């Protein structure tokens, strides 16, 4: 297992599958009355959020607390960053306080990489979204959701997403979620198609491991999962499409369009949704839409990532599948989901 999690592209197939399998174990904890494991007791994790976030920040915090870590929340607003403090100074302050891991979200692409490779800080760095670059734990929770729904909860263990056809629709240009998903889904053997207006397709997309289409209606019947992306108006400094109505008409998902998908196919969205823009309320609230499930799964994925980066390295090396370890019941090290005594 690597030391940091900066990009979904850094994960091998086996590492990604290990994270998904570990997350299945973590999910069992959420089914218990007491949702807590002693795994990271005595470790301190700092959540460094330089950019707005609701679900990702809460999700990391829930994951850290369920693993019994001590949590420090740092939001740039109200901190010395607004007095002009640099990332380097902030990092050195955290290092001086002895944090064991840093979760960082930043509006600048590359900030987590800089933090991980600068030598300013010794702790593992987990990217919680940087600019339009990467959001690896989002891609992992999406893959987890797809594997559960399209392969099966138990049947999925040890499996990847080979042959699954996944369609990502909308503002690909500004989407770190799209970039992370294309990388991870490709590694997991899925076939990815991007659908977007030509103005929202990034330059250089031909080098990405996916197909590009401008015709949503044509792609829907051949999709096992359709992921709608938010139109990121806050990152747009120009007019990328004529009107919202025109956008919705061509690239939005409504009930009529959803009916073109195969019966088993699911609709996904990373949130926050702009209802009426990329997705109608009818679709967002339908049984086929996994948006709420994705949030639940996000906590299990982040627990798995924290466990593997902070506590589980030796365990993972000694026992390639933590699940088998659990089933065998005998471990020299306490396993990830052993109850607090």
Ligand-binding site membership of 114 (annotated):
no
Given 61, 115, 124, 129, the residue binding ligand NCD (CB under 6 A): 129
Q: Is 98 annotated as a binding residue?
A: no
Residue 133, annotated as binding a ligand: no
Question: Does residue number 222 form part of the binding site for ligand NCD (CB under 6 A)?
Answer: no
State yes or no: cis peptide before 154, omega within 30 of 0. Answer: no
Nearer residue to ligand NCD within complex by CB, 49 or 307 = 49
Confirm or deny that 13 is annotated as ligand binding: no
Indicate the residue among 39 and 127 with the shorter CB distance to ligand NCD: 127
DSSP annotation string for 131-156:
TTTB-HHHHHHHHHHHHHHHT-TTTT
* Least CB distance to ligand NCD at residue 273 (A): 9
Verify binding: residue 230, ligand NCD, rule CB under 6 A.
Answer: yes
Residue 264 burial class via C-beta count within 10 angstroms: exposed 0-12, middle 13-18, buried 19 and up? exposed
By CB under 6 A, residue 4 contacts ligand NCD = no
Min CB(231)–ligand NCD separation in Å = 8
Q: Is 210 in the site for ligand NCD (CB under 6 A)?
A: no
* Cβ contacts of 135 within 8 Å, gap of 6 or more: 56, 127, 128, 129, 176, 177, 180, 270
Number of residues that bind ligand NCD (CB under 6 A): 11
**Residue 245 annotated as binding?**
no
Task: Confirm or reject binding of residue 135 to ligand NCD (CB under 6 A).
Answer: yes
270 is a contact residue toward ligand NCD (CB under 6 A): yes
Q: Could you give the C-alpha distances from 107 to 49, 58, 87, 173, 229, in angstroms and in order?
A: 9, 18, 12, 15, 18
Please tell me the chain's helix, strand, coil percentages from 3-state DSSP, rounded to the nearest 5: 45, 15, 40
CB of 181 vs ligand NCD, minimal distance in Å? 11
Indicate which single residue of 56, 90, 290, 325 sits in contact with ligand NCD (rule: CB under 6 A).
56
Nearer to ligand NCD (CB atom), residue 10 or residue 95: 10
332 near 96, Cβ under 8 Å?
no
The edge-to-edge listing of strands for the beta sheet with 225-228 is 211-213, 191-195, 165-169, 225-228, 266-268
Please say whether the beta carbons of 61 and 90 come within 8 A. no
Q: Is 176 in the site for ligand NCD (CB under 6 A)?
A: yes
Residue 69, SS3?
Answer: coil
User: Residues within the annotated binding site for L-aspartate?
Assistant: 83, 176, 230
User: Residues within the annotated binding site for carbamoyl phosphate?
Assistant: 55-56, 105, 135, 138, 271-272
Task: Catalog residues that contact ligand NCD under the rule CB under 6 A.
Answer: 55-56, 129, 135, 138, 176-177, 230, 232, 270-271
């Amino acid at each position: 297992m690597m030391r940091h999690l900066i990009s979904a592209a850094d994960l091998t197939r086996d590492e990604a599958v290990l994270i998904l399998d570990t997350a299945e174990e973590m999910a069992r904890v959420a089914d218990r009355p007491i949702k807590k494991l002693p795994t990271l007791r005595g470790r301190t994790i700092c959540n460094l959020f330089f950019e707005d976030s609701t679900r990702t920040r809460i999700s990391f915090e829930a994951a850290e607390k369920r693993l019994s870590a001590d949590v420090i929340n740092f939001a740039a607003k109200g901190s010395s960053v607004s007095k002009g403090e640099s990332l380097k100074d902030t990092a050195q302050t955290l290092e001086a306080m002895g944090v064991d891991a840093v979760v960082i979200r930043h509006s600048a692409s590359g900030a987590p990489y800089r933090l991980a490779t600068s030598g300013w800080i010794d702790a593992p760095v987990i990217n919680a979204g940087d600019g339009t670059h990467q959001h690896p734990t989002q891609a992992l929770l999406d893959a987890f959701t797809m594997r559960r729904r399209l392969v099966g909860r138990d049947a999925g263990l040890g499996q990847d997403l080979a042959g699954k056809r996944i369609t990502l629709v909308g503002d690909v240009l500004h989407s770190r979620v799209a970039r992370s998903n294309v990388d991870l889904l490709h590694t997991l053997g899925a076939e990815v198609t991007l659908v977007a207006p030509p103005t929202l397709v990034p330059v250089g997309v031909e080098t990405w491991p996916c197909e590009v289409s401008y015709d949503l209606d044509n792609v829907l019947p051949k999709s096992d999962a359709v992921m709608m992306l938010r139109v990121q108006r806050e990152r747009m400094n120009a007019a990328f499409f004529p009107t919202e109505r025109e956008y919705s008409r061509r690239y939005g998902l409504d009930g009529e369009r959803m009916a073109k998908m195969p019966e088993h196919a699911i609709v996904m969205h990373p949130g926050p949704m702009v209802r009426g823009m990329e997705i109608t309320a009818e679709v967002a609230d339908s049984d086929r839409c996994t948006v709420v499930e994705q949030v639940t799964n996000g906590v299990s994925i982040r627990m798995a990532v924290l466990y593997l980066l902070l506590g589980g390295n030796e365990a993972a090396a000694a026992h390639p599948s933590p699940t088998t370890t659990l089933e065998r019941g005998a471990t020299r090290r306490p396993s990830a989901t052993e109850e607090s005594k």
